[in-house]
C-alpha cells in the first residue's frame, strides 16, 4: 500500500513539473521590460543595481591594446543599448540653502507638480576595507584610520529643466505620493574612469586607493510611475537629436 502511494506521488510530481516550468517561463518572459510595456513589475528600480556592471563593460575609452576597428565596433554596440534608471523625486530638497520641492501636490488643482532642474545622479558607492591603524596629525590628535579602496560609480542624467503636471484625485494622491518615481530611459553617451589615491586627514579618516567611473547619458523617455505597484501614470518622449528637450505627451 505504501509502495503504491509513493508511486502515485511520483506520478503526480512528473505531471505537475511541466506546468511549473511553463509557469516559470511565462513569468520570466512577462517580467521583461522595454519601451513598449504598459505596466511595470512591482518595486521596479530599472538597472540601478547594475550600475557597476554597466560602467565596467561599457567604457568609451580606447585601450592601447585595442584596434581602432574593434574600438568602433564596441562603442557602437554600447551606444545602441537602452537602459532604464529609476529616480525618486524629493518631496523637499535643499540646494545652496534654498528649499526646493521636486514633487508636490496642489490640492486646489488636484494635481502633482513635478519640477526636475538639477543633474540627477544615480550612485553606487562603497569601501573595500582592508584593515585599520591609529594615525596622528601634526597637532598630536590621534584617530583610527580605515585602509582600503573607495569605489564610486555615477550615471549623470540629463540636467535640463523638466516641469510637468500629474493630475490625480486627492484620495489616490495621498496613497501614492511616497511611491512616485521617475524612470529615465537613456543611452550612455560617454564613460570615463580614473584611479587615484586618498590621503587621510582629520575630516577624512580613510587611507588608500580611489576608483571612479562616471558617464553621461542621452535621454529617450521619462516615465512617471508607482514604484510599489508598477502602474505607469505618464510617459514623456524626447528627441535624442535635439539639444533641448522636445516632448510629445
Nearest alpha carbon to residue 177 among 113, 223, 85, 122: 113
Q: What pLDDT score does 123 carry?
A: 80
Query: Which band of pLDDT confidence, cut at 50, 70 and 90, is reported for residue 99?
Result: low
139-148 average pLDDT score: 88
22-45 average pLDDT score: 70
Max avg pLDDT among 10-19, 22-31, 73-82: 73-82
Q: Which residues sit opposite 27 in a β-bridge? A: none
- Within a domain: 244: no
Q: What are phi and psi of 38, to 5 degrees?
A: -110, -5
Q: What pLDDT score does 26 carry?
A: 32
Query: Which band of pLDDT confidence, cut at 50, 70 and 90, is reported for residue 236?
Result: very high
d(CA 247, CA 117): 16
63-67 average pLDDT score: 82
d(CA 98, CA 76): 42
- Within a domain: 182: no
Residue 14, pLDDT > 50, answer no
Residue 227, pLDDT > 90, answer yes
Residue 216, pLDDT > 60, answer yes
d(CA 176, CA 112): 11
- Show the domain range for 199: 51-84+93-177+191-214
Query: pLDDT digit string (tens) for 37-58?
Result: 999 999 999 999 888 888 877 7
Query: Which band of pLDDT confidence, cut at 50, 70 and 90, is reported for residue 201?
Result: confident
Residue 241, pLDDT > 60, answer yes
Residue 187, pLDDT > 80, answer yes
Lowest-pLDDT range of 6-15, 95-104, 158-167, 223-232? 6-15
Query: pLDDT digit string (tens) for 153-173?
Result: 888 887 678 889 999 999 999
- Within a domain: 204: yes
- Within a domain: 223: no
Residue 226, pLDDT > 50, answer yes
Buried/exposed code over 226-237 (b: 16+ C-beta within 10 A; e: otherwise): bbeeeeeebbbb
143-161 average pLDDT score: 86
Q: What pLDDT score does 68 carry?
A: 85
- Within a domain: 160: yes
The count of structural domains within the chain is 1
- Within a domain: 33: no
- Within a domain: 110: yes
- Within a domain: 7: no
Percent of the chain beyond pLDDT 70? Answer: 78
Task: Tell me if residue 179 falls in helix, strand or coil.
Answer: helix
Amino acid at each position: 500500500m505504501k509502495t503504491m502511494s509513493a508511486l502515485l506521488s511520483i506520478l503526480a510530481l512528473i505531471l505537475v513539473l511541466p506546468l511549473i516550468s511553463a509557469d516559470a517561463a511565462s513569468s520570466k518572459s512577462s517580467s521583461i521590460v522595454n519601451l513598449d510595456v504598459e505596466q511595470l513589475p512591482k518595486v521596479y528600480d530599472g538597472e540601478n543595481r547594475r550600475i557597476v556592471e554597466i560602467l565596467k563593460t561599457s567604457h568609451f575609452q580606447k585601450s592601447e591594446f585595442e584596434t581602432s576597428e574593434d574600438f568602433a565596433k564596441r562603442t557602437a554596440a554600447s551606444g545602441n543599448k537602452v537602459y532604464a534608471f529609476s529616480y525618486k523625486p524629493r518631496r523637499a530638497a535643499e540646494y545652496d540653502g534654498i528649499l526646493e520641492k521636486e514633487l508636490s501636490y496642489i490640492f486646489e488643482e488636484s494635481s502633482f507638480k513635478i519640477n526636475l532642474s538639477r543633474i540627477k545622479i544615480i550612485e553606487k558607492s562603497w569601501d573595500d576595507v582592508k584593515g585599520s591603524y591609529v594615525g596622528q596629525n601634526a597637532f598630536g590628535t590621534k584617530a583610527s584610520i580605515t585602509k582600503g579602496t573607495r569605489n564610486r560609480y555615477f550615471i549623470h542624467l540629463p540636467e535640463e529643466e523638466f516641469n510637468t503636471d500629474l493630475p490625480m484625485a486627492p484620495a489616490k494622491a495621498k496613497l501614492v505620493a511616497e511611491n512616485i518615481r521617475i524612470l529615465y530611459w537613456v543611452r550612455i553617451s560617454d564613460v570615463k574612469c580614473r584611479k587615484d589615491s586618498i590621503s587621510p586627514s582629520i575630516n577624512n579618516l580613510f587611507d588608500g586607493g580611489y576608483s571612479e567611473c562616471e558617464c553621461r547619458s542621452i535621454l529617450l523617455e521619462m516615465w512617471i510611475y508607482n514604484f510599489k505597484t508598477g502602474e505607469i501614470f505618464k510617459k514623456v518622449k524626447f528627441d535624442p537629436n535635439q539639444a533641448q528637450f522636445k516632448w510629445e505627451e
